[in-house]
């Protein structure tokens, strides 16, 4: 599976045959089987879903083995894993999405997140001028109503190096009133929700 997933690289399909914009990334079936195996074994979330002594060690050991078979699918698996502690800072978002993010189901279909039992998360942090120093990000967040943590924002800007665009949602960094902040952005969704920051920003 690891060899096949790399022998046949992903293809970006921008339009369907009727000319509708789809922005679909097509992977070899072996890649999806690797993703399914990782998610079913909880590499994306098991210590968050079943916290218990040794849970992180168990997950790390499985991850160590699995990524020797194929490393690239570890990217969305790791980002999904890493997103949950950030979401904990915004309890309403965690309540809405925590179950689906930690669920042991992988669903590669290009359908809305509410039609899926499990979702994967990507990240859109980097910009051309803002890699290590994300404070240089210029993407802006405009409050739609009153603003503030958990509220809806419109994000306007340009991201660079979003390496798992087939995820169901993304943590996106943008400059909000008050400084750089993190947003939960559903793929295809109209708006992004702000996550409460732990620093003064
Ligand atoms: C395989 C891959 C996948 C990625 N996927 C994603 C993704 O999905 N989403 C996303 O948002 N980003 C993604 N990135 C982008 C990644 O997060 C950035 O490349 C990273 O943050 C570094 O930024 P940069 O490339 O602009 O390098 P720079 O920040 O310009 O760094 C260039 C060099 O300067 C050094 N440097 C930088 N700052 C300092 C400092 N203060 N002191 C000393 N040295 C310093 C660095 O070590 C490096 O050697 C991905 C990158 C890779 C390689």
**Residue 196 Cα distances to 19, 39, 79, angstroms:** 40, 27, 19
> In a structure prediction context, what are the per-residue pLDDT tens digits for the chain, which is 201 residues long?
999 999 999 999 999 999 998 888 999 999 999 999 999 999 999 999 999 999 999 999 999 999 999 999 999 999 999 999 999 999 999 999 999 999 999 999 988 999 999 999 999 999 999 899 999 999 999 999 888 899 999 999 999 999 999 999 999 999 998 899 999 999 877 678 888 765 433
In short, whether 131's Cβ falls inside 6 Å of ligand 1 is yes
Ligand 1, residue 128: give the atom nearest the CA: 26
Nearest alpha carbon, ligand 1 atom 42: 132
The whole-model pTM stands at: 0.93
End-to-end CA distance of the chain: give it in Å, rounded.
44
Nearest alpha carbon, ligand 1 atom 1: 163
Q: Report the distance separating Cα 140 and Cα 183, nearest Å.
A: 11
Which CATH number is 2-186 given? 2.40.110.20
For the chain, domain boundaries: 2-186
Residue keyed to tokens 């991201």: 159
79, 130, 131: which to mutate for ligand 1, most atoms within 8 A of CB? Answer: 131
Ligand 1, residue 124: give the atom nearest the CA: 11
Q: Report the distance separating Cα 180 and Cα 140, nearest Å.
A: 9
């Amino acid at each position: 599976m690891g060899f096949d997933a790399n022998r046949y690289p992903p293809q970006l399909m921008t339009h369907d045959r009727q000319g509708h914009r789809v922005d679909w990334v097509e992977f070899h079936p072996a890649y999806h089987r690797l993703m399914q195996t990782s998610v079913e074994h909880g590499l994306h979330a098991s210590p968050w879903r079943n916290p218990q002594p040794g849970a992180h060690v168990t997950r790390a050991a499985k991850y160590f083995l699995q990524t020797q078979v194929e490393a690239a699918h570890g990217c969305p698996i790791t980002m999904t894993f890493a997103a949950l502690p950030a979401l904990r800072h915004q309890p309403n978002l965690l309540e809405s999405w925590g179950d689906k993010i930690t669920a042991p189901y992988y669903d590669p279909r290009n359908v809305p997140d509410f039609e899926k039992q499990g979702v994967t998360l990507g990240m859109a942090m980097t910009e051309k001028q803002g890699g290590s120093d994300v404070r240089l990000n210029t993407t802006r967040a405009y409050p739609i109503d009153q603003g503030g943590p958990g509220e809806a924002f419109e994000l306007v800007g340009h991201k660079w190096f979003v390496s798992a665009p087939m995820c169901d949602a993304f943590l996106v960094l943008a400059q909000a009133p008050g400084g750089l902040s993190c947003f939960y952005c559903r793929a295809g969704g109209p708006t992004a929700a702000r996550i409460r920051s732990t620093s003064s920003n």
